């Protein structure tokens, strides 16, 4: 779903069209901001929003909380660093299991990896280039900086 320069109403329409006009049982937010609001507005009754970035807004008529309340939806945060910060090393094996599962899904074709834009080297210039790509909407997928490569 391409989201730069689109209103929330346009995004809702586009997201529902991708699902043949039906609401989703689960929406995953990996972007935050307007995408969090979108996820809160496209879930079905008793649906779930899972976010790795933002919580729902609670500001009057545009409240994500109100949108969730209207469909009796739930909001879950899943911040992977929480386990590392608040649990001991005995829980770190959970990361291994989760990454192994994701690797298996990728290998079996159950999920596709996001497209990658690889930038060589970690330098002021490559960081500036990465930000320029993000700010102008010229990135589809993820930006990766190869820190072992020499900057170009």
In this predicted structure, what is the pLDDT of residue 1? 67
Domain 8-79, architecture per CATH: 3-Layer(aba) Sandwich (3.40)
Residue 135: both structure tokens together: 């700010």
Q: Are 75 and 56 in contact (CB under 8 A)?
A: yes
Query: How many angstroms separate the CA atoms of 40 and 63, rounded?
Result: 9
The model's pLDDT over 22-59, given as tens digits with 9 standing for 90+, comes to 999 999 998 888 999 999 999 999 999 999 888 899 98
Annotated domain spans of the chain: 8-79, 86-113, 116-146
Q: Which residues of 129-146 are buried (b: 16+ CB within 10 A; e: fewer)?
A: bbeeeeeeeebeeebebe
pTM: 0.66
137 compared with 15, residue with greater pLDDT: 15
**pLDDT(149) > 70:** yes
- The whole-number average pLDDT for the span 113-135 is 86
In this predicted structure, what is the pLDDT of residue 151? 63
In this predicted structure, what is the pLDDT of residue 152? 59
149 compared with 110, residue with greater pLDDT: 110
Question: What are the strands, taking DSSP E only, across 20-95?
Answer: 24-29, 43-51, 74-77
């Amino acid at each position: 779903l391409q989201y730069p320069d689109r209103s929330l109403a346009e995004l809702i329409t586009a997201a529902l069209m991708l699902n043949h006009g039906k609401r989703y049982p689960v929406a995953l937010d990996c972007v935050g901001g307007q995408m969090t609001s979108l996820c809160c507005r496209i879930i079905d009754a008793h649906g779930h929003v899972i976010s790795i970035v933002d919580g729902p807004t609670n500001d009057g008529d545009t409240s994500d909380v109100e949108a969730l309340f209207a469909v009796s939806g739930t909001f879950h945060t899943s911040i992977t660093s929480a386990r590392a910060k608040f649990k001991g090393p005995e829980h770190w094996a959970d990361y291994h299991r989760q990454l192994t599962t994701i690797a298996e899904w990728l290998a079996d074709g159950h999920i596709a990896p996001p497209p990658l834009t690889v930038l060589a080297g970690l330098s002021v210039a490559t960081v500036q280039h990465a930000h320029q790509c993000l700010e102008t909407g010229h990135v589809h997928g993820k930006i990766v900086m190869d820190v072992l490569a020499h900057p170009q």
